[in-house]
Chains A and B, each alone.
Chain A
Amino acid sequence: MKFVWSWVKKDPLLAGLILLATVCAVWRQNPLVREITKEHDLVEQKSKLVTISYYYPNFAYFSDIVSGVQKPKKEWMQGYYFGKPYIFHQYYEKAAQLLPDNDAAHFLLGFCEYYMEAPDIARTQYEAALAANPYFFWSYYNLGVIDFQQGDFLKSAMVLTQALALKKLTLEILFQSPFYRQIWRNLSDPPKTLEGNLNQGAQDAALMLAACYLKVKAYDQVLQIVQSVTSGGGHPWHQELWEEIHKQALQKQSQDDKFYILLQERIPVRLF
């Protein structure tokens, strides 16, 4: 004891630091402190969900969009009072802000931003969604649509190619994410509707991809896509557009602008 005391008197700074480190170590190992720290972390997570829950919109409208009953409208993406039915933008904005790693929050915010006439913000949200989860078809699809509409055909082709490889995983993601569940649980037959939409999305993606290749004069790729679509056995959507593309690719000619405008009108950004 005497030795310790004489040492402390000799080097009080070092002794103080050692004492502080010991107290900190004991403090952190203290079961009560550990319990409080654990509770703090849990409550922090919970507070984010509670905050988001205050912005709950009426999801029936988004469900109607998925089932094709409604079309997305700008004025329905935002509301000003809690309790009014449509405040999707605020809801997903808050969700994306508090849960930055949640791909669904970014994806759905991107959808709102697009229909609120902010395609560039929508693009950043889709990119954030893909950074958090690169296996979701619809993020690529919508990003591809935006690029297509903005005339960036090479980029669109790249993104849509990735989209077409991800059909199977997408359904799994849709069924697992709570944010998507809030929307599809109102549907009468969710698996059927979601799978049907996915197939239609894939057809549209293929059509856009072919159109992109046609624009950049990659005629062989166009013919390859046309062949794979028609050899699938099913009757492709937008039959007359496919025929146009096929004809032009055979003649090694690009389409005029009217065709692309028509395509842009027919293929919208989709929810899922």
Chain B
Amino acid sequence: MKNTYVKWAFIIPLLWWVYLFFTTQIVVVFDAASYEDLGKMIVHQGWGEFFRTGPNREPMFPALVALSMNLGAWWGISYYYPLKMIGTLFLLLTMVFSYRLMRMLAIPRALACLAVFYLGISPVMTNSSMRLWSEFAVYPWVVLVVLWTIKSWRALDHVSDDRRGMFKVIGYGVMLAFLFLLIMSVKAVAEGVLLFYLWPFYWLIFSSWRSGNFLKAKHVAMFCLTVLLVFEGAVNIYKWENYQANGHFVFTARGDWFLYGNTACRMQPLSLRRLGAAVAYVPGLGVCPSIFGTDDCDFWSDRHAEDVAQQKRAESQAKGMTEEALSKEYIYSSARMVLANPLQAVMLWTVEAHKIFFWESSIAFVAYPDWLEGIFYLPWFMNALKIIFAFLSWSGCVFAFCYLGFARLIRRQNNPQDAVLFWTLNFIFWFAAMYALFFVIDRYAFPLISLFLVLIAFMVHKIVRAWVK
């Protein structure tokens, strides 16, 4: 009986994917078109050209597109099919890792299966896994990072004080750095996430040292150093390659100007109406324009931020500023504006970060059979789904936070699940926080969907159990 749940939680989505695999078509527009061009460039001109024409987008997804193109040419079919196969394979891995994470949280098998099942058939997950956008390439690694951090966190308690123990610590560190590199090669925001994500380890070094447990402090410090050195080493080698090939010491082209554009918009004098528009802009769905009108809402759009950054670029270029100096100017100006009014900055970052919860129903860039399109583009249905899952995701996070606080302050005891819950929350928090510095588009939330579903399942489990008791 128990195994039957697991079996069907995976088999039904698999059958669904087979149907979608044969009936859907990728629509190549916007970013997808640039990924297609990059894939072609890698296939026909090699990686040298990729770097020469850079800085380009993060490398993993163009590499997957190039791989699909090679496979497609080999099998004599369109490269969309191998790409969809890779997408579904990544989704399957995400389901497996998420299931493991839920079992670590002692979520009952039936509930875990239900969450995994939804992960496999969710409109947004299937849509994003079968289109030419990069998000799906990061799904499994996000869950794996959380799983591996928990494993490392627990293992560091029992490391022997010998060479073998040291190698073990280094091994854990290298693996975590490697997993973060996988995320980084799809979403460059991971560079910032890693630095802050490791904060409990930094704290552990300090607390172990203060309590006289120097061995543990040494091991944790070694672990952190390994993670940061391996990760930053690889990232900087990549940046150096870019610098050598195209003169830009960066991982990817975007970032600084987008940071400036968004910061400049947010740090404008804030009226109550403008703040209201910012809050109403969070859920999307046309909520903001229906209350405040398009002018107030356009102020908070990514296009407005782009225009502001472009204006700054034009002004700086008129003054004869180089690209490198402009890049620095973008960052320093942003920092100056934030420091001038940090309260407003934090408040608007918090508002921005809440966009991460509105992930469901953001489907696009795939053509579906008519009957399915009829469902996927039913406004009331998809909006309801979006609102329900936004509420559940938010509640799941808040519940997990309160549960952990309760565990720490009132229960004063550690459950084995606390670490799992903590690291899941920690990843979500820093991922959302890093994106909130820039601008949160609904698809940026996709890598976190599996973690949201884990927290939702945990919340439902605890509530149901309390109810039954």
Contacts and interface: CB of A to CB of B under 8 A. Distances in A.
A39 B303 contact: no
Contacts of B366: 47
Interface string A24-39: 0000000000001101
B56 interface: no
B303 A46 contact: no
A120 interface: no
B23 to A, nearest CB: 5
Contacts of A70: none
A244 interface: no
B367 A47 contact: yes
B449 to A, nearest CB: 24
Contact of B22 (A40, A42, A82): A40
A36 B23 contact: yes
A82 B303 CA distance: 11
Contacts of B370: 42
Given A39-B369, A42-B369, A43-B369, A54 B23 contact: no
B343 to A, nearest CB: 34
B75 interface: no
A50 B370 CA distance: 13
The 7 closest A-B pairs by CB, nearest first: A47-B25, A47-B367, A54-B29, A39-B369, A39-B23, A46-B367, A51-B27
Contact of B367 (A36, A50, A82): A50
Interface string B338-369: 00000000000000000000000000001111
Interface of A: 36-37, 39-40, 42-44, 46-47, 50-51, 54-55, 82-83
Contacts of A42: 369-370
A196 B18 CA distance: 55
A96 to B, nearest CB: 15
B467 interface: no
A65 B368 CA distance: 37
Contacts of B367: 43-44, 46-47, 50
Contacts of A37: 22
B29 A43 contact: no
Contacts of B22: 36-37, 39-40
Contacts of A39: 22-23, 369
A40 B23 contact: yes
30 contacts: A36-B19, A36-B22, A37-B22, A39-B22, A39-B23, A40-B22, A40-B23, A42-B369, A42-B370, A43-B25, A43-B367, A43-B368, A43-B369, A44-B25, A44-B367, A46-B25, A47-B25, A47-B26, A47-B27, A47-B366, A47-B367, A50-B367, A51-B27, A51-B29, A54-B27, A54-B29, A54-B30, A55-B29, A82-B30, A83-B303
Interface of B: 19, 22-30, 303, 366-370
Given A40-B23, A43-B367, 19 more contacts: A36-B22, A36-B23, A39-B22, A39-B369, A42-B369, A43-B23, A43-B24, A43-B25, A43-B368, A44-B367, A47-B27, A47-B366, A50-B27, A50-B367, A51-B27, A51-B29, A54-B30, A55-B29, A83-B303
A47 B369 CA distance: 10
Contacts of A43: 23-25, 367-369
A55 B368 CA distance: 19
* Residue among A40, A51, A83 facing the most chain B CB atoms (10 A cut-off): A51
A39 B25 CA distance: 11
Nearest to A36: B22
Nearest to A55: B29
A39 B133 CA distance: 24
Contacts, number: 37
Contacts of A51: 27-29
Nearest to B80: A47
B81 to A, nearest CB: 11
A54 B29 CA distance: 7
A86 to B, nearest CB: 17
A158 to B, nearest CB: 39
A40 B25 CA distance: 8
A50 B27 CA distance: 7
Contacts of B27: 47, 50-51, 54
B301 to A, nearest CB: 11
A130 to B, nearest CB: 28
A51 B370 CA distance: 16
Q: Which of A36, A43, A44, A46 has the most CB of B within 10 A?
A: A43
B26 to A, nearest CB: 7
A54 B368 CA distance: 16
B194 to A, nearest CB: 33
Nearest to B25: A47
B296 to A, nearest CB: 18
B383 to A, nearest CB: 21
A46 B372 CA distance: 13
Nearest to A51: B27
Contacts of A40: 22-23
Contacts of A54: 27, 29-30
A83 B26 CA distance: 22
Contacts of B29: 51, 54-55
A55 B22 CA distance: 26
Contacts of A83: 303
B28 to A, nearest CB: 6
Contacts of A50: 27, 367
A50 B368 CA distance: 10
A39 B367 CA distance: 11
B161 to A, nearest CB: 60
B347 to A, nearest CB: 30
A36 B24 CA distance: 10
Nearest to B373: A46
Contacts of A36: 19, 22-23
A28 B145 CA distance: 44
A55 B29 CA distance: 8
A37 B23 CA distance: 7
